[in-house]
Amino acid sequence: MTIREFKMPDVGEGLTEAEILKWFVQPGDTVTDGQVVCEVETAKAAVELPIPFDGVVHALLFEEGTTVDVGQVIISVQTGPVGEEAAAAEVPATVAAAAPAAAPAPAQAEEPAAAARQPVLVGYGVSQASTKRRPRKAAGDVAAQNGTAAPAVVPAQPAAAQLVAAAAQNGTAAPAAAGAARALAKPPVRKLAKDLGIDLATVVPTGDGGVVTREDVHAAAAAAIAPQVAAPAAAAPAPVQAPAEVAAQAAPAQTGRETRIPVKGVRKVTAQAMVGSAFTAPHVTEFITFDVTRTMKLVQELKEDPDLAGLRINPLLLIAKAVLVAIRRNPDVNASWDEAAQEIVLKHYVNLGIAAATPRGLIVPNIKDAHAKTLRELSESLSDLVATARDGKTSPADMQNGTLTLTNVGVFGVDTGTPILNPGESAILAVGAIKLQPWVHKGKVKPRQVTTLALSFDHRLIDGELGSRFLADIAAVLEHPRRLVTWA
């Protein structure tokens, strides 16, 4: 029998880690190609992972609730005989250790395995394994993996990590890696540091293995604008923790007066995105209060229209349609800022984001090509989006490439707010509660349905004049909904 390994795939664009929510199999269970073995939560969505081969589960390498980096082995499976080359690449470290008499494979034998295609989610296709190496582990980290606190089964170490481990056992110093002076940070963190004008070499890392995190960059930015800047401390890797300590930190810690909840999953990425957006895009927020009585009457008429029977008709549907009409009249608001190329990218399509509060936290899926949809199609897309988000089945693709977002705070009875831009988008519109208020209508004070809209936009992309005209057009359509036809 041969032991094959299944690694954590990249279930979205550029994701680096995912949390294992639930295992659907246990050691000894038989699995088939395409069978879902676990559910994981990324920074964007909860998704199910299918196994890409048949066999019997040999070991689960991580417990539920553990956050695992993309590319790490999460499950091993006993399969039928395979070729010697594949077996050499797929046997885990513990199995290889059981046969000390076997001669080690030459370094060149690792190259085909490195270039092999990695299994990914059904529907996402397959991708070539990246030749970019992960940051080398420190000798202390490798020793911790080989110590008594390490799990019974661990994934095979990269060649670089094995060299460090061998050097540590022989009492010799491992050779310094080329470019060791370069700070360790993920690409999004490097971009954030560049946007904020922070030199990563001056940032004190707090991540595992001395990796600079977003929080480290923001802390450095805050210190840079303070009257007195403390001298940066020497970069030092975080102390290695035993798995028991890591598991203890993953669960909420409660005392008599406080409860501490680990920040992870959707909450973690939302926090990072909002901080990054607030520090990167110069926000401007404008407000407008107006009469929507005619729109509310139209909503009621559409609900009673037999041609629209079975559709979800509500004020948000007509507000979304009004936004699309206003974008057509002011196309320059539908854009994004390309910092690297120093260009403004005008979008000739509208992927309309809808902020949705779910049990997992706030997510912003978007309706692809909303500008091309009829009222019926837009209603169906909104209903599908809400149902999918409520069930926790929103895919990463549904939350990518948004251009502008709507957030309906009015459902909570809130009049308005100052929303923060979804990163990469030009504007976000907050819809306030629709209330019966005294209003001057045709020269007389009458009770009318009134609401307030708040538009936050990126001032790098949208000047005050353009933002004001865009917001005024949305209000004009909703005040006189016949403009849905005349302006369209």
Strands 36-41 and 2-7 turn out to be unpaired
With beta carbons less than 8 A apart as the criterion, state whether 440 and 278 touch.
no
- Locate tokens 């809130």: which residue? 414
Question: Of the candidates 338, 327, 228, which has an alpha carbon nearest to the alpha carbon of residue 280?
Answer: 338
Q: Chain-centre distance of CA 259, in angstroms?
A: 26
Q: Active-site residue 459, yes or no?
A: yes
Q: How far apart are CA 39 and CA 267, in angstroms?
A: 18
Which residue is catalytic, options 348, 441, 459, 480?
A: 459
* 179 dihedral zone (left: phi>0; alpha: psi -120 to 50; beta): left
Short-list 259, 134, 276, 282, CA closest to 215: 276
- Kindly tell me the burial class for residue 270, based on how many C-beta atoms sit within 10 Å of its own C-beta (0-12, 13-18, 19 or more): middle
**In the block, which residue shows the tokens 């976000």?**
428
β 17-23/67-69 pair status: antiparallel
SS (H, E, C) the chain: CEEEEEECCCCCCCCCEEEEEEECCCCCCEECCCCEEEEEECCCCEEEEECCCCEEEEEECCCCCCEEECCCEEEEEEECCCCHHHHHHHCCHHHHHCCCCCCCCCHHHHHHHHHCEECCCCCCCCEECCCCCCCCCCHHHHHHHHCCCCCCCCCCCCHHHHHHHHHHHCCCCCCCCCCCCCCEECHHHHHHHHHHCCCHHHCCCCCHHHEECHHHHHHHHHHHCCCCCCCCCCCCCCCCCCHHHHHHHHCCEECCCCEECCCCHHHHHHHHHHHHHHHHCCEEEEEEEEECHHHHHHHHHHHCCHHHCCCCCCHHHHHHHHHHHHHHHCHHHCEEEECCCCEEEECCCCCEEECEEECCEEECCEECCHHHCCHHHHHHHHHHHHHHHHCCCCCHHHHCCCCEEEEEHHHHCCCCCCCCCCCCCCEEEEECCCEEEEEEECCEEEEEEEEEEEEEEECCCCCHHHHHHHHHHHHHHHHCCCHHHHCC
Catalytic residues: 459
